Amino acid sequence: MTLIKSGLAATFAAAAMLAGAPGAQAAVTYIGATNPCSTTDITGATACAGFYTGNGIAGTGNAADNQADAFTKLIIAGTPTIIDSVDAVDGDNSGVIDFGRLLYGFTVISAHWGAGTGGPGVGVRGGVSGMYTFNFATPTATVTTHFGSTWSNARLFSTEVCTTNCGGGGGGGVVPEPATWAMMIMGFGAAGALIRRRRTLAA
């Protein structure tokens, strides 16, 4: 019994020492002392955090710690939560990331690039990941990376729903304004009245 208690005490003591050690609280696999990523990595980006080694934000390894670290560096409130994801299509060399929905307002996207030629971490085993923020004034269907075919997958953490002046930017469900609804209802009513009047005259 004493041995068990002593063993548990030693285990807790070691855990406490590790918790107090620098960097022990978050196993962040960050490359470099400063961000080697750039807002020019993806068209329209306003800020970035990265690169993180491997698929470090997109969902493997130390993804949770890296996501939290990126949110801290980008001064984003809240807990990192992936709301959508997309994988690159084999043979697609366009570098275009398309979540199949409109992106609007403050938007947070992470991207992972493999270690292939042309990607941001050439020579880094497993490639690298970065997180980027955007502020789209109009709904936008896609974003384009400047590392071409080497991006592997992307994650959408945040985007807003456009409710006013939502024209352009591609397809996908925006909510009509109340004034638009009113005009549509009035139009249907007028069309119905005209049809009834014609039927009355015909009788």
Top pLDDT among 26 and 60 is at 60
Residue 7's pLDDT is what?
45
**What's the rounded Cα separation, in Å, for the pair 81 and 92?**
27
Top pLDDT among 181 and 85 is at 85
CA-angle at 139, arms to 138 and 143, nearest 5°: 105
- Taking the C-alpha atoms of 44, 46, 47 and 52 in order, what is their torsion angle to the nearest 10 degrees? -10
Mean pLDDT, range 138-164, rounded to an integer: 88
Phi, psi dihedrals of residue 149, rounded to the nearest 5° = -75, -5
Mean pLDDT, range 45-65, rounded to an integer: 81
Residue 132 has pLDDT above 90, yes or no: yes
Residue 128 has pLDDT above 60, yes or no: yes
Residue 8 has pLDDT above 90, yes or no: no
Q: CA Rg, the chain, in Å?
A: 25
- Taking the C-alpha atoms of 70, 76, 77 and 83 in order, what is their torsion angle to the nearest 10 degrees? -80
Residue 87 has pLDDT above 70, yes or no: yes
Residue 31 has pLDDT above 70, yes or no: no
Closest CA to 29 of 143, 112, 85: 112
| pLDDT band at 129; cut points 50, 70, 90 | confident
Which amino acid would we find at residue 23? G
pLDDT, one tens digit per residue, over 164-184 is: 878 654 433 334 445 554 565
Residue 123's pLDDT is what?
53
**What's the rounded Cα separation, in Å, for the pair 106 and 96?**
19
Top pLDDT among 32 and 84 is at 84
